[in-house]
Structure 1
Amino acid sequence: MNNGAVIFAANVDRVARFYEVILTMSPVYVEPGLRVIASDRTELVIHGVPPQVLAPAASGAAPEPREDTAIKPFFVVGSLAKARDMAPLLGGFVFPPEREFTSRRFRACNACDPEGNVVQFRELLVSAI
């Protein structure tokens, strides 16, 4: 069993596709309103919610970041630059390089999925030995 998170979404397929591509994950379970995607270490459950709870984001428009939540997950990516290039094609975005920061053994930048959920992507840095 992997560690993971549940992400609630108005458009399950669109949000799942964003994480599948950016995080190199694969679908492991699909049913209407629910999609489970996983890598060898992480599992994400994209769970649908009714429109009266969460209105679907406009297709083609950049999502409005929802920064007033109590939790922000982070995920390791191979390259922040590649994630930044791919995210708009999938309906989200990664904030510009000026917003990146380095800590411990990674460089990080916040991003938004297609529905505005703010996450952080981290690129591991090679440590000098």
Structure 2
Amino acid sequence: MLQQGLVVFAKNKKRVSAFYQQTLALAVEESDTSHDLLRGHGYEVVIHTIPRKYAAGIAIEKPPKPREETPFKPTFVVASLADVRRAVEETGGYLKPDTGAWHFRGHTVLDGWDPEGNVVQFKQPE
């Protein structure tokens, strides 16, 4: 099966991995101290630990602020934005309010971010 992939570098691999597992209903296929390989629904997401010497210089606020300076925003089609919202709340991420949703090409679209502020977009088919 062809998998679309994404690598997310994380200061806290466990927390960020839980976010993607729950919001995208992905299974942990492989895990060690350096990374978690998550797969399911045509996605392959690798959560890779940032080396300590670099991670020490990264501050993650609580709640996390979005890292809007990056030129990339991954987009995922999901069955239910309501399910994503529950998963986001359980794992320390953020999803914009439903009033901030827009409609684009047959999908209801909402942006959010993971527990470290990496911006992610979720799209539910209408």
Q: TM-score, normalised by structure 1?
A: 0.88
Can you list the C-alpha shifts for 1:85-128, whole angstroms capped at 9, x where unaligned? 32121010101112110011101000110000001001011xxx
Residues 13-22 or 44-53, more deviating: 44-53
Can you list the C-alpha shifts for 1:33-75, whole angstroms capped at 9, x where unaligned? 20000004010011111244343635xx321100110110001
Residues 23-32 or 78-87, more deviating: 78-87
Matched, 1:57 2:60: yes
Which secondary structure state, in structure 2, belongs to the residue aligned with residue 116 of structure 1? coil
Q: TM-score, normalised by structure 2?
A: 0.90
Name the structure 1 match of 2:11.
10
TM superposition shift of 1:78: 1.6
* CA distance in 1 between partners of 2:23 and 2:67 (Å): 19
Unaligned runs of 5+ in 2: none
Matched, 1:120 2:125: no
Matched, 1:80 2:81: yes
State the 4+ residue runs in structure 1 displaced beyond 4 angstroms: none
* CA distance in 2 between partners of 1:46 and 1:106 (Å): 27
Which secondary structure state, in structure 1, belongs to the residue aligned with residue 117 of structure 2? coil
* Aligned residues of 1:56 and 1:115 also touching (Cα < 8 A): no
RMSD: 1.5
* CA distance in 2 between partners of 1:15 and 1:53 (Å): 17
TM superposition shift of 1:82: 2.3
Name the structure 2 match of 1:45.
46
Which secondary structure state, in structure 2, belongs to the residue aligned with residue 65 of structure 1? coil
Which secondary structure state, in structure 2, belongs to the residue aligned with residue 53 of structure 1? helix
